[in-house]
Structure 1
Amino acid sequence: MNKFQIIIIAMCFCFTMQKSWGQERELSASDSVKLKQKISKDKPKEGGDRNVMLNAASNTGPRDVNIGLPPSVGGITILENDLPAVYYFWPELPNRTWRPSVSLERTGLLKMDELATSMGDLGFAVNSYTQTGTKDFQFKGKVSGSHYGWIQGDVNVSGPISKNGWSYSAGAFLNYDPDTYDLKSVRNADETKIFRAGITKYFKDNKGKITAAYKYANSYSVTNYALFRYKEGGEAKELDGFTFGKGSFVVNDGKYRFKDLMTGEYYTADIDGNEATTESHNIDIFGNYQLNNGWDFQYSTRYHSAKTSLLYQIPLSITESVDASAGYTYANTGDAYTGNVATQLAMNSPNIPTKTLMGRFSLNKTIKNHELQLGVLEQYYHVDDYHSNRSFFYQTVEDQPSKLISPNTDEFGFFGYNTGGEFYRGSENKLSFFGTDNWKVNDKFNLSYGVHIRYHHINGDFAREAVNTSTIMNEEQTASFDEGWLQLGGKINANYNLTKNFGLIGNFLYTEENGRLNDFSTSFVPNLKSRKSPLGAFGVFWNTPFLSLVSQATYLYKNNYLQRFNFVNPVNSSESQNGSVNYDIQTIGWTTDLVLTPFKGFRLHYLITLQDPVYKKFNFSAFGDDYNYSDNNVLQISKTLMEIDPSYTFGNWRIWASFRYFSRQYASLTNVLYFKARWENFGGVNYKLNDHVDLGATVVNFLNQRGAKGTINGSELITDPSQYYGQLLTSSYIRPFTVQASVSVHF
């Protein structure tokens, strides 16, 4: 049976099945988030219990949820009003237009199977809903800050306009965050302003409502790295004068020189300007209407336009103990320099315009013991002349490093302009049909199933030849592409009660994808074969008045995974090469998740995941040599994960903590370098002053853990770890000890 026959059968199945009301609870073995049993009658299911907003690496967005695959550059998928906050995370990262806010009516975690059927994508998603107009006046405000100088103001007001069902909502979110390190060239590491305004009409006889909402966002951010000496056993030893999270490895003048791929003109980008800022406009129209035949028609539409500028520097390698014969001088003084030298890659994508038009429409109805949802999803995206201008430079190796000039740089200290630069332009269109049925078969057996059918089309232009210093993009240097695919997604979940409180659960979900516009950012046609992701799981559940437990084993496989690397020549660390690799990933895991409530006020959540994510079919060539990383462990993914979350509530007080354990994480593709096991921890106290005022205090990393995480830049090809023992390296890190406080007002 071919794919088209399968799709025809699936469409018939989709439009004839009926939906049930019921309860389910499921957890895949690679999940690090516990999922609730609730099925919302009007919205996709959302998991509770886990605070996905607790991010140990950043204060600007939710944490990435582990599913046994490499962390996405864009982080966890973020939805607002059932549509993606941004169509694709690059070049406009989701946290440039979305932040947790009191202007969101509610926020939850969308489960993997619901994302597969509603969006056709793999993973978890944060799903949020804009605050609509209210029939009564409401005020919500929150002020937050930290002892490092972070301050955030967040306010929303809503209320009636007239007696015939019209109401309004308006909000403002202002974030000024210097982060935990000092930047000499800019005051804040993150500045984000989001303003919202909306108007809502309530229909008569509680038939539903419609909301038109506008959002303006302006967001700027800078990325930092940790500098340390790597020790045998995966230890990252701090340097004197450079504390993790407090030292800055961003060049102290914050200025980078580039050659524009589109015009050939040289220019200077400054992190204190607009070269790292995204500005966006968003118009949403959404709501629901109860039809006379009992169907609930739900709809959400969006027009989103943005201009994005990205500015990054990425450490490539460090050469130690350079003497005077190398000819390095300080760029700002001209004085001779001896010591350690860091090679850096600078990247700038200036004012990239993108436009998105999306709409999601569904019909929902309960028929006997079925709950039915049928829907259509349309997503159109266009980007004009995306290009990544690149250059290389040297800097000193210290806190607040200085730029260096050498014999192989120009007078400004830069070289290798646009070597490995990127270019593409074009459009994507996704048209999807989806349907789900939640069926309460009987008192013991619940069955949930759904299908997502998508046609995905991309077309545009990309660089005909490899981009280099002499390249100026014009029509003669571009080639066109035009591709389309029919893709399937779906789920089947079942749970069967063997006794009143004990039973079996089984889950299967499946997604497909092929390619995206950004796959054409380099000069060769990427592998666009179908990327299939089947996930199967089987386990047990047990519920008592004091204990709720799920234990489940999971198998996940994803083929044709596409990733780009900046390979550094293991023989000559000053030589780098941009490359793309297709490979597969396999994850086998087992998870046990429990919630314990032994006495009033106390609650303990415990999660343990054992998994074995490995690469498959990972073969490539670089610098004239062939490499095979098949069966190597996946980068940045621990084999053992634990989460321990105790809390105690008494009177108006709540005391809580969250501990996360990550076993060894591999930092090089060859698996010879790794970071030792670590803990991430949070703790806090909340106090309800009265019905209108809440106080909160949170401590990030209250155990004052130190350590690096992520990957070690430039180590992708090394096979002898001893050459790195005692060497200076860079990577990302967890936030240092930070005290945060907030005051919330609502009436």
Structure 2
Amino acid sequence: MKNPKLKISALGLLLSFSGAFGQQVDSLAVKNAVNTATKGGEGVKTVTTKEDNNRNVMLNAANNTSPRDVNIGLPSTVGGITILENDLPVVYFFWPELPNKTWRQSVGLEKTGLLKMDQLANTMGDLGFAVNSYSQTGTKDFKLKGKFTTSTFGWLQGDVNASGPISKNGWTYTVGAFANFDPSTYKLGFARNADETKIFRAGVTKYFNNDKGKISILYKYADSYSITNYAVFQYGENGKVTELDNFKIGRDSYVVRDGQMKIKDILTGESYWASMSGKDNRSTSHNIDIFGNYLLNNGWNFKFTTRAHFSKVKMANMIPLSIFNANSTAGYTLASNGQPYSGQVGTILGMYTPETPITSVAGRFSLNKQLGNHNVTLGVLEQYYHVDKFTSNRTFFFQTVEPQPQRLIGPNTDADGFYNYNAGGEYHSGTENKLSLYGTDEWKVTDNFNLSYGLHLRNHILDGEYSLTPRTVGFSFTDPSQFNHISQSFFQIAGSLNATYNITKNFGVLANFLYTEENRRLESYSQAFEPNTNKIKSPLGAFGVFWNTNWIQLISQATYLKKNNNLNRYNLVNPANSSQAQTTTVYYDIQTLGWTTDFVLKPFKGFNLHYLVTFQNPVYKKFNFNAFGKDYNYSDNNVLGVAKVLMEIDPSYSIDKWRFWASFRYFSKQYANLTNALYFAPRWETFGGVSYTVNKNINIGATVINFLNQRGASGTINGAELITDASPYYGKLLTGTYIMPLTGQFSVSFNF
């Protein structure tokens, strides 16, 4: 598995469709999810919205750059939650261009919400949730809005957008800039910032006469690099981790001091050095959107959105695999000065993707109209994607175990301290094309009974090249005959059926079914094997009850979800010899049962309490593979990194110009390796804040992340996937991901 893509803190949301998928969720039962229908003069309260905007989607415990990931009982996708902008994905595929390289939460967005799972299945044909955002378009009146954010660790973020009229005949403009300079919470040895991102926007909007609609043409330029850090800790009984005296979790960097790695280009065989910062780890993109709507004379609303996206991606990652002890006779020396070294040695996998051009063109066109008791939408979605010679060059090296570690030269390395060049290296090139037809209908059958359903039909074509040549140590492509042609065409179906029935004015039952299909992508051909292209099917069924009054909105729902034919590539370490590592591909199924209860309580003016609890049991099925000459079978083992019990408590209180809030998120133990021998103890993630409205134009706020100052680790433990007996690892040094340490953030917002 491409580990650097996994490290986004898992938190999620509860919406009317997905309230109890056996996963992490937020409040479903919020005011804007209550639809009132007339019945004899009384309101019948149901849950029928497509999108929920009351979501703290960006409140992330792992970093300042990405939305909260939505856990649906399956392992976190490597790219995190799907992000849409103007109804289209901000990137066609998250690897190698991660969504946060071209999109950030910003005042340059007019609206940001969360798209429910059934809507994503119906309109995009995909499984999961999506952040649904819309760019700020031109406005008929002048508007200026902005935000400045800083933190106790020196985070600097400036964000501003201006919009207004150009002429009296409906032409308007918008222009904005976003700049992020984030050192995170640790100090690197080679750069100030762990994330530097700049996004610039400009565009024009034309409003049609008689309020028929509008059309916008927007340009966006993004320039971004980011670095992933890991923690070193001592593992103990009952999943407890202990912070080292000389390495503070979240405060110290485990990235090699100079940020450099030596690469052998898998296409040319040329050797060179690549850096984790600057020009070698930077993505740039140009984005042109044309979108809007027009109300036709027959009452149908024609909505359209198109995008041309051009990017050049460079990416560098360093992934810790294992730690072992070397005595004075082992033959390790510091690369900087040749001084002999003895002590703890860390094994590191370096992955480098040189500049890769990516082009994607997409368009969505739909017609919507209220037809009696039916709200009908019919649409077409087209997505074209081209990636030109993607490669992931591999290298391995050793480093000291300390803050800002030093690179080591070992007995099996070259003179610079590197070895196993391109073992497990990746390559693919080509195009993907998805053409879809979809339709949805929200049908108010009676005052008490509502049906919502949709169908998505998609043709997915792959056309490209890959290679079946084994990626042995020192490998590079030197013969054009090593490449094979990819030519695949898949027909895929997705859709949903949701029903709600009010037994009384405030109480009712709901039932949901969702189904998606997918096949392999070009990325699945990166390794030296022919991937299994059998259909990946994800059926989901749920049943529950809801209760909505003026003071409480509640939902309780049970769900079954299964997904077959998953593919993951694991960087495995031999449990019998920690200096040996290999990349292994595994196909497997996952199923999960869950039950969630979620409510929002408003007992008196100004006070709001959101509470949820989720019980789930996600397990692997048909999970077997061979590594280091041995067969492994982990069927019925618990899914990595997914807690079985999740809880969230969110109180808030508003009085006069003040608002006080807190968020407590509980995770039961999370398994940290495939055998389930290692796990992390239960933990809390905590947030709190206060905001003050100075006047109608200015607001100031303060947020504290991890105010209990917990220093525990989360996610998975690198290099420990095959460990079967935890006891020898008690007291051993391991590496993994973590939540942010105690951090204060401060912001000033203005809106004129």
TM over 0.5: yes
Which deviates the most, 559-568 or 463-472?
463-472
Partner of 1:441: 445
Give, in angstroms, the shift of residue 404 of structure 1.
0.4
Code of the residue aligned with 1:49 in structure 2: it is N
| 1:480 to partner: Cα distance | 1.2
Q: CA deviation at 1:570?
A: 1.2
Alpha-carbon separation, structure 2, partners of 1:397 and 1:721: 22
Deviation for aligned residue 1:34: 2.6
Structure-1 residue corresponding to 2:304? 299
Alpha-carbon distance in 2 for matches of 1:443, 1:206: 32
The aligned amino acid for 2:511 is G
1:574 maps to 579
* Partner residue, 1:312: 317
Q: Which residue of 1 aligns with 2:693?
A: 688
1:37-84 Cα offsets, whole Å, 9 max, x none, are: 2689xx982113321110001110101011000011100000000000
Candidates 462, 483, 497, aligned match of 1:492: 497
Partner of 2:402: 398
8 Å Cα contact 2:55/2:113 also seen in 1: no
Aligned residue number for residue 597 of structure 2: 592
| Residue of structure 2 in register with 1:367 after alignment | 371
Q: In the TM superposition, what is the alpha-carbon distance from 1:388 to its structure 2 partner?
A: 0.5
1:27 matched to 2:19: yes
Note the C-alpha offset of 1:305.
0.8
2:3 is matched with: none
Report the aligned-residue RMSD: 1.3
- The structural deviation recorded for 1:571 is 1.0
SS at match of 1:400: coil
SS at match of 1:590: strand
Q: Which residue of 2 aligns with 1:100?
A: 105
- State the partner residue of 1:168: 173
Task: Report Cα offsets for 1:242-265 as digits up to 9, x if no partner.
Answer: 111001100001111000111111
Pairing 1:345–2:337 present? no
**Contact between 1:102 and 1:154, CA under 8 Å: does it hold in 2?**
yes
Aligned to 1:330: 334
The answer to whether residue 593 in structure 2 is matched with residue 601 in structure 1 is no
CA distance in 2, matches of 1:688, 1:481: 58
Residue in 2 that maps onto 1:457: 461
**Residue pairs, 1:189-588, within 5 angstroms:** 189-320=194-325, 322-468=326-472, 469-588=474-593
Residues 564-713 of structure 1 aligned to structure 2 (within 5 Å): 564-713=569-718
Give the 3-state SS of the residue equivalent to 2:578 in structure 1: coil
CA distance in 1, matches of 2:239, 2:624: 26
Counterpart amino acid of residue 394 in structure 2 = R
The answer as to 2:709 corresponding to 1:716 is no
Unpaired runs of 5+ residues, structure 2, are 1-14, 37-47
1:33 Cα deviation after fit: 2.6
Paired AA for residue 20 in structure 2: S
C-alpha distance in structure 1 between counterparts of 2:55 and 2:388, whole Å: 39
Look up the match of 1:150.
155
1:739 maps to 744
Shift of 1:649: 0.5
Quote the Cα distance in structure 2 between the aligned partners of 1:73 and 1:683. 28
Q: Residue type of the partner of 2:501? A: Y
- The Cα shift of 1:223 comes to 0.7
Do the aligned partners of 1:345 and 1:390 also contact (CA within 8 Å) in 2? yes
Between the aligned partners of 1:24 and 1:279, the Cα distance in structure 2 is 38
CA distance in 2, matches of 1:621, 1:660: 38
Q: What is aligned with 1:18?
A: none
CA contact (8 A) 1:24 1:446 kept: no
Q: Distance in 2 between matches of 1:588 and 1:383?
A: 38
Equivalent position SS for 1:200:
strand
Contact 1:681-1:700 within 8 A present in 2 as well:
yes
> Retained in 1: the 8 A contact 2:385–2:433?
yes
Q: Name the SS for the 1:500 alignment partner.
A: coil
Find the aligned partners of 2:549 and 2:93 in 1 and give their Cα distance.
Answer: 43
**Counterpart amino acid of residue 29 in structure 1:** F
Q: CA deviation at 1:648?
A: 0.2
Q: Which residue of 2 aligns with 1:65?
A: 70
Note if contact 2:125-2:494 (Cα within 8 Å) is conserved in structure 1: yes
Deviation at residue 473 of structure 1 after TM alignment: 4.9
Question: How far, CA to CA, are the matches of 2:68 and 2:703 in structure 1?
Answer: 16
> Do the aligned partners of 2:552 and 2:599 also contact (CA within 8 Å) in 1?
yes
| Distance of 1:259 and 1:573 partners within structure 2 | 24
1:641 maps to a residue whose letter is L
Deviation of 1:295 (Å) = 0.2
CA distance, structure 1, for counterparts of residue 171 and residue 52 of structure 2: 32
Letter in 2 for 1:333: N
Shift of 1:619: 1.1
1:639-660 deviation line (CA, Å, top 9, x unaligned): 0000100000111110000110
- Whole-Å separation in 2 of the counterparts to 1:684 and 1:473: 58
Are the aligned partners of 1:315 and 1:345 in contact in 2 as well (CA < 8 Å)? yes
- Paired AA for residue 374 in structure 1: L
Q: Unpaired runs of 5+ in structure 1?
A: 1-22
SS of corresponding position for 1:483: strand
In structure 1, how many angstroms separate the alpha carbons of the residues matched to 2:295 and 2:278?
A: 50
Percent of matched pairs sharing the same residue: 62
User: How many Å apart are 1:412 and its aligned residue?
Assistant: 0.7
Instruction: Note the C-alpha offset of 1:25.
Output: 6.9
Amino acid at match of 1:30: G
Q: Report the Cα distance in structure 2 between the residues aligned to 1:370 and 1:416, rounded to whole angstroms.
A: 62
Cα offsets for 1:61-114 (capped at 9, x unmatched): 101011000011100000000000000100000000000000000000000111
What secondary structure, in the 3-state scheme, does the structure 2 residue paired with 1:95 have?
helix
* Distance (Å, rounded) in 2 between the aligned partners of 1:474 and 1:84: 37
Q: Deviations over 1:301-326 (max 9, x none)?
A: 00001111110110111112x11211
Task: Tell me, yes or no, if the aligned pair for 1:262 and 1:474 is still in contact at 8 Å.
Answer: no
- TM-score normalised to structure 2 length: 0.95
Aligned equivalents of 1:357, 1:517: Cα separation in 2 = 17
* Mapped contact 1:26–1:550 kept (Cα < 8 A): no
C-alpha distance in 2, partners of 1:595/1:66?
21
Secondary structure of the residue aligned to 1:113 is helix
Give the Cα–Cα distance (whole angstroms) in 1 for the partners of residues 503 and 600 of structure 2. 21
- Partner Cα distance (2:643, 2:732) in 1: 24
Distance in 2 between the 1:159 and 1:523 partners?
Answer: 54
> In structure 2, what is the Cα distance between the partners aligned to 1:702 and 1:243?
17
C-alpha deviation, 1:567, in angstroms: 1.2
Cα distance in 1, alignment partners of residues 323 and 542 from structure 2:
45
How far is 1:464 from its partner?
2.3
Q: Deviations over 1:367-425 (max 9, x none)?
A: 11110000000000000100011110000011111010012111111011111100010
Alignment partners' CA distance in 1, 2:353 and 2:526: 12
Conserved 8 A contact 1:26-1:505: no
Q: d(CA) in 2 for partners of 1:26 and 1:414?
A: 48
